Structure 1
Amino acid sequence: MEDYLPDLPAHLTEGTNVARVYLHVRDGIISGALRSGDKLGEAALAAELGVSRTPVREALRNLAADGYIEVRPHAGAMVRRWNPDEVNSSFEVRADIEGTAAYRCAERITAHDLLELEQLCDGMEASDDAALRSGLNRTLHMRILRISGVAHAEKIVTQLTDLAILTMTYRQFSDEDTARSDGDHRLLMRAFRLRDGPLAQAAMRVHILSAAATLEERRRGLR
């Protein structure tokens, strides 16, 4: 369960200074250490990581291309500010894709797969760390997509969930929200155990759209 952060993108070479800077900034965004609007100074990053400004500059270009940050003329690089419509749309697309994947997963899942998913649920329920919970949650969702065998689903959802939205959501969860999310996961496990595709699809859709509603309520000051 330690692999809860996304893999290094294929366009970067592992172990290079560019990759080090990229991962440092990206994982800081996903963990919540870097927040929307935070500025990313080339000189400060270079000093912090002990590299020259050249790999920092290249890493920032890659981060901007992948949607994590934005680079503005005369203002420099900063963590991307999320448009509420964009965030809501990402949840809606995920609900459609992952709902279908959950249906297929219920048809294909093995006893070993189910045990692995249940262990991820155990890990989330045992932790009160938002970054860890969101990472384990991401791993759970990615494993379900992989088991489902739905073509391109994992790639599309990865693009939608690598944008720090999961962690942003978990950091805004109340105790009630956390309990609901855990309950959703357990309902999914029941659907998989019973090989009940319609129940798995419904549970996944409600799970994702409820998380979107939590963010929207907070944005509107309703909670």
Structure 2
Amino acid sequence: MPAFLGELLVFHLHVRDGIVSGALRWGEKLGESGLASELGVSRTPVREALRNLAADGYVELRLNAGAQVRRWDADEVNSSFEVRADIEGNAALRCAGRIGAHDLYELEGLCDAMEGATDAGERSCLNRTLHMRILRISGVAHAEKIVTQLSDLAVLTMTYQQFTGEDTARSDSDHRLLMRAFRLGDGALAQAVMRVHILSAAATLEEQRRGFRSAGVAGDHLDR
């Protein structure tokens, strides 16, 4: 890989992961020179990476004000969950007709690991792996890339730290019901479960936004 592309990728992932993890907060300015110095790269790949991040919706580029972490609109976040429900619901339907015994064993192992995890970050990582694996098995073109970006938006606004015990139990139950649908090759059930699973997470976020739950990270990222 050419040095320029390598530096661009390093910087892109550094900023993206910082935003998703919450290390870089909404509205925080991203100075080219400071970030280039921090990572030991030139300003040219930094400038190009910021353009790419703006195109992906992670940062805003303002005339004469540079780049800053973007603040998300609540309606935009809700619509992202709806799009995910459509894409992943269809993927689950297709997955039920394509999944093999080895794939099912792997997915059930991820469910086991999630149910045994005590760290919210670990649960989030395992959850993402499970969903991405289902998308890959489904064979839906470009689904992984699209859902990855939409999932990052979900992480920005609602993390597993905000889940109650009831939320976590519901999520685990959804995953187990998905495994049953896959085992039976029942695409209709798999699609319905996946859609409800994702839209239930959206409902949790909306409850937080409206003040029906204790405010958490969501309040820091959403433009009310």
TM-score range, shorter chain: 0.7 to 0.9
Give the corresponding residue for 2:158.
169
Alpha carbons of structure 1 residues 121 and 166: separation in structure 2 relative to 1, 3 Å: farther
> 1:127 matched to which residue of 2?
117
Alpha-carbon distance in structure 2 between the residues aligned to 1:33 and 1:53: 22
Tell me which residue corresponds to 1:9: none
1:47 to 37, 40, 48: 37
Q: Is the 8 A contact 1:70 1:77 kept in 2?
A: yes
Please tell me whether the aligned partners of residues 13 and 19 of structure 1 are also in contact (alpha carbons under 8 angstroms). Answer: no
Contact kept, 8 Å, 1:30 with 1:167, in 2: the verdict is yes
1:90-129 per-residue CA deviation (whole Å, 9 max, x = no partner) reads 1111112211221221121111001111122223223343
| Whole-Å separation in 2 of the counterparts to 1:152 and 1:106 | 19
- For 2:209, the equivalent position in structure 1 comes to 219
Q: Tell me the CA shift for residue 13 of structure 1.
A: 7.6
Q: What do the CA deviations read for 1:190-212 (whole angstroms, capped 9, x no partner)?
A: 21112222221111011000110
Residue 70 of structure 1 pairs with residue 60 of structure 2: yes
- Show the counterpart of 2:221: none
CA distance in 1, matches of 2:140, 2:8: 33
How many Å separate the matches in 2 of 1:14 and 1:221?
46
Deviations 1:19-64 (A, max 9, x none): 1111111111222222322222223212321223332222211111
Q: Is the 8 A contact 2:27 2:69 kept in 1?
A: yes
The CA distance in 1 between the partners of 2:58 and 2:164, in whole Å, is 26
1:57-81 Cα deviation digits (max 9, x unpaired)? 2221111112211111233211111
Provide the C-alpha distance between the structure 2 equivalents of 1:44 and 1:130, rounded to a whole number of angstroms: 31
Alignment gaps of 5+ in structure 2:
214-224
What's the offset of the Cα at 1:155? Answer: 3.9
Query: Percent of counterpart pairs with the same letter?
Result: 74
- Tell me the residue number matched to 2:7: 17
Counterpart for residue 202 of structure 1: 192
Distance in 2 (alpha carbons) for counterparts of 1:212 and 1:109: 27
Equivalent positions of 1:2-41 (< 5 A) are 16-41=6-31
Which stretch of the first structure deviates more once superposed, 135-144 or 208-217?
135-144
Deviation at 1:215, TM superposition (A): 0.9
Q: Distance in 2 between matches of 1:200 and 1:191?
A: 5
Query: Which is richer in helix?
Result: 2
Letter of the 1:52 counterpart: S
Structure 1 stretches of 4+ moved >6 Å: 12-15
- The alpha-carbon deviation at position 167 of structure 1 amounts to 5.3
Task: Give the drift of 1:185.
Answer: 0.9
1:180 aligns with 2:170: yes
Across the aligned residues of Structure 1 and Structure 2, the Cα RMSD in angstroms comes to 2.2
Q: Read off the aligned partner of 2:172 and give its amino acid letter.
A: D
SS of the residue 1:67 aligns to:
coil
